């Protein structure tokens, strides 16, 4: 079964060794951006230089709708035969938002709350970046359902760094 694995940066190398993903998504601030991991095909590594901010007025390099479109376009090449790994610095906000966004994109509208609940079940620490979710809600034409779903699970348990976790992903449903 296809799955998305979310990890903090500190767990990336081990996650790649253990799970042999076909695709990796890196969501780090531009000044902390990493190179493609050794032995990994650069075309299968998306690097998005964004800071973890929830309001574009409050920080530099915030997520944009363009970043969300790039993420969704990159994931179109992922067939699910091997895992997709998504990570940010702590594995709490940007990466969990990206995982939620990819889960929503692969499912028909109306499943957003169930997908957010599945995220919370597997990751009590998840605090998906609200700005990323808001842009994805618009890009995917979800009429506020993605934002409402993330709001419904409340804030995650406060941690310095999340632990790696996986989310099984059903096949694309229209």
Q: In degrees, to the nearest 5, what angle opens at C-alpha 68 toward C-alphas 27 and 100?
A: 75
Q: What is the pLDDT of residue 58?
A: 78
pTM of the model: 0.95
- Give yes or no for residue 122 having a pLDDT over 70: yes
* Cα dist from 10 to 4, 72, 151, 173, whole Å: 17, 25, 28, 33
Q: Which domains does the chain have, with CATH numbers?
A: 3-168 (3.90.190.10)
- Give yes or no for residue 125 having a pLDDT over 90: yes
Q: What is the pLDDT of residues 97-111, one digit of tens each?
A: 999 999 999 998 999
């Amino acid at each position: 079964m296809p799955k998305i694995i979310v990890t903090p940066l500190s767990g990336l190398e081990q996650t790649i060794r253990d799970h042999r993903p076909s695709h990796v998504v890196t969501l780090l601030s531009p000044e902390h951006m990493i190179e493609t991991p050794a032995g990994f095909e650069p075309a299968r590594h998306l690097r998005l230089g964004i800071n973890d901010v929830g309001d574009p007025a409050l920080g530099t390099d915030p997520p944009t709708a363009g970043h969300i479109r790039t993420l969704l376009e990159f994931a179109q090449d992922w067939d699910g035969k091997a895992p997709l790994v998504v990570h940010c610095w702590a594995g709490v906000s940007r990466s969990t938002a990206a995982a939620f966004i990819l889960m929503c994109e692969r499912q028909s509208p109306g499943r957003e709350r169930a997908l957010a609940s599945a995220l919370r079940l597997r990751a009590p620490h998840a605090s998906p970046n609200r700005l990323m979710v808001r842009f994805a809600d618009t890009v995917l034409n979800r009429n506020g359902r993605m934002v409402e779903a993330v709001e419904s699970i409340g804030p995650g348990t406060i941690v310095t760094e999340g632990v790696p976790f996986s989310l099984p992903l059903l096949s694309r449903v229209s």
